[in-house]
Amino acid sequence: MAIFKKQDTWWIDYYANGTRKREKIGTSHKLAQEVLAKRKVEIAEGKFFPERQKKTISFSEMADLYWELHGKQVPSAVGIFYHLKQLKAFFASKPLEQISVPDVLQYLNGIKEKCSAATANRHHNVLRAIFNRAIEWEKHDGRNPAAKVKQFRVENSRTKFLENEDITRLLAVCDAEVQPIVIFALLTGMRRGEIVGLRWEHIDLANGVIHVLKTKSGEPREIPIAAKLRVLIESIRKGDGGRVFNISTRALNRHFTKALLLAGIQDFRFHDLRHTFASHFIMRTNDLPATQKLLGHKSPRMTQRYAHLSKGHLQVEMQIFDSGWTDIWTENDATKLIQKHEPTILNNHII
């Protein structure tokens, strides 16, 4: 019985029932020693059944399988593909059973340092999903190390939006290809991926509705077509089939970044156009539930970040509350009531 290394991978070599066996272990010499010792005991006790040995699959192999069978089928496929590329570069050919909780933490901490806590959490979601699918598809009969790692706390309070003069300046420097997309985003609050993937068959001008089918939440929603949006749609319409905007996400980012630079707008992302839509909608309508429905938020908590922009929303509600007391007493009655019970102060003592 022996242990040997071949191309950075440790193998064990032994005989069982007169037959020579070679078993690929991985990059850990210690693990190879432990497995070989276990095989010796199994053979000696007559408990060695090679047909029952666990099937090993590398992370890269499982990541590719996950992409083919699941990843590329979901609305967020572009993001998943990007995450998988980085995950494969880190975990490479390491067998799933050798990936530990510290390995997961090391990877996620690195992503957090380079990017942000929110980005690290998205990588965490993909990594956890890969292990879950590996278990479901009987490619891995161990545990999910990513499931034991807590996600980073994210202060999701960014609500940066453009004022009217900023919008005017931005649209003035947008080129002919990106300008209608920016206007479309400002008038609908749709996400970048939703806009890029929108097709003409999803736009129902007869009933004045845009059907957003591929959403982040996985639940479709409808966006009413207002007058200015209708004018825009009719001005760019060239047919009844295909994509509305024939542009890639990468090209859109390039054009948009250039426009921001020319407009002198800093620290702004395309997604902030969605915040701009929501902010102006709230300021003009004071309607949080409608905003939630248009944005496709599952929870009112996500929409609540815009509540402070509502023009006097608390003052309006308090006025409605106050008006309900008119049948009980008038303003003068209330003043008299207060005066009647006003305490008298004598020698610094309330009597």
DSSP state of 201: G
- Say if CB 177 and CB 247 are below 8 A apart: yes
- φ and ψ at residue 299, rounded to 5 degrees: -115, 140
CATH of domain 164-309: 1.10.443.10
- Say if CB 274 and CB 191 are below 8 A apart: yes
Structure tokens at 87: 């995950």
> Angle formed by the axes of helices 164-173 and 179-188, to 10°?
150
- Residue 41, pLDDT score: 80
Which residues of the chain carry a pLDDT beneath 70?
47-55, 75, 155-159, 308-351
> Angle formed by the axes of helices 59-69 and 77-91, to 10°?
170
- Residue 52, pLDDT score: 46
- φ and ψ at residue 153, rounded to 5 degrees: -75, 130
Q: How far apart, in whole angstroms, are the C-alpha atoms of residue 314 and residue 320?
A: 10
Secondary structure (3-state) at 24: strand
CATH of domain 59-148: 1.10.150.130
Structure tokens at 165: 């003069």
Residue type, 6: K
Residues 6 or more apart in contact with residue 278 via CB below 8 angstroms: 161, 189, 291, 294, 295, 303, 306
Structure tokens at 331: 């303003």
Structure tokens at 174: 């947008």
